Amino acid sequence: MAALPGSIRAAFLRQADACRDLGSPYNADLCAFLAQRLDGSTVFGRRIGSWEGDPGADALALRAAGALHALARTRRVPALTDAYPPAAFDAARLGDALAQALAREDTFLAGYLGSAPQTNEVKRSGAVLGALLVVARETGLPLSLLEIGASAGLNLGLERYGYALDVGAREGSSHVLVRCAWRGAHPDPATLLAVADRAGCDRNPLDPGDPADRERLFSYIWPDQPERLATTAAALDVAAAAPWRVARADAADWLEARLASAPRPGVATVVFHTIVRQYLPAPVKARIEAALAEAAGRARAGAPLAHVAMEADETRGSAALTLRLWPGGETRALGRADFHGRWVEWG
């Protein structure tokens, strides 16, 4: 059968490089392995090979890797489970396991490709925390948090976590500890941060207390990174006990409704998102910008509006961390952050 088209193989190989840079040699080898091994002989391979969207922006390689990790975690194909960490990557062993997985679970694997990866990466809270500390310091107000692309809502509870930042620690009220190295001209981690209220939306929200939804999150975390898995599990426990849940909604629809009565006196309204923009259609992005602009026109000193974004840009290997704060509204480059929140370079 025909191999994957060149553009899709190239996207898998680029993702392999990214995984290696982000500390996952197993997932790097897996993405490169799939680029060479997949073809049109299975439903899984055909769906990947005929992908109509942008395979890079759609994170197609991570969809495929997530599908296999999800199946490995179920133990329905023991050979696949045994080929995953803590076992080292072994191409021959994985090749045999993949053949068994495709023979038994082709439909499951192909169906898993339909959803964009959701890691709800908890350690990105280390970057968002710093941006929120800037807003809190400059406004002197409690914050009303609005997150788009919030997944299971793990980052909505970020002020409850403890932080080990390499420049000092910040105590939290939960058992979650976020390790994120802060470098450069960082905010003061001791700044008082009060959250008045919070809400989030997602096209496909996950319930942190639902075993199937928890497994979906775990499937997208790279299998040779046990610290990420453990931190996510701890944050899921905290979110499951929290009173909020993420709303199922289109980001533009939801934000337009939320900002219709914002900013509110006595709080700083903060819209934030992390690694979401690439998944939004152009019309949705335009509506979000329009909703922000309309609300920004009503912002004043006692009722400010902020927009915090941690998103990929033209610089490879890290995300841009930016802040807009109204009145004013100029875009400030706060720094650059590791995609998985391992570090932030401030300034």
The mean pLDDT of 73-82, rounded to a whole number, is 98
Query: Which two structure tokens, joined as six digits, stand for 7?
Result: 């553009």
pTM given for the model: 0.91
User: 2 pLDDT exceeds 90?
Assistant: no
Q: What are phi and psi of 238, to 5 degrees?
A: -65, -45
What per-residue confidence (pLDDT) applies to 161?
A: 97
pLDDT at 160 over 80: yes
* Residue pLDDT, tens place only, 100-110: 999 999 999 99
Task: Give the pLDDT mean for 177-182.
Answer: 97
In this predicted structure, what is the pLDDT of residue 129? 98
pLDDT at 39: 95
Query: What phi and psi values does residue 12 have, to the nearest 5 degrees?
Result: -65, -40
CA distances from residue 61 to 32, 49, 58 in whole angstroms, order as listed: 9, 11, 9
Q: What is the pLDDT of residue 1?
A: 62
How open is the CA angle 21-128-135, to the nearest 5 degrees? 145
The candidate with the shortest Cα–Cα distance to 265, out of 220, 303, 209, 231, is 303
How does the average pLDDT of the chain come out, rounded? 96
- pLDDT-derived band at 142 (thresholds 50, 70, 90) equals very high
Q: Using one digit for the tens of pLDDT, what is the confidence trace for 209-233?
A: 999 999 999 999 999 999 999 999 9
Residue 187 has pLDDT above 70, yes or no: yes
pLDDT digits (tens, 9 = 90+) for 14-39: 999 999 999 999 999 999 999 999 99
For 231-278, write each residue's pLDDT tens digit.
999 999 999 999 999 999 999 999 999 999 999 999 999 999 999 998
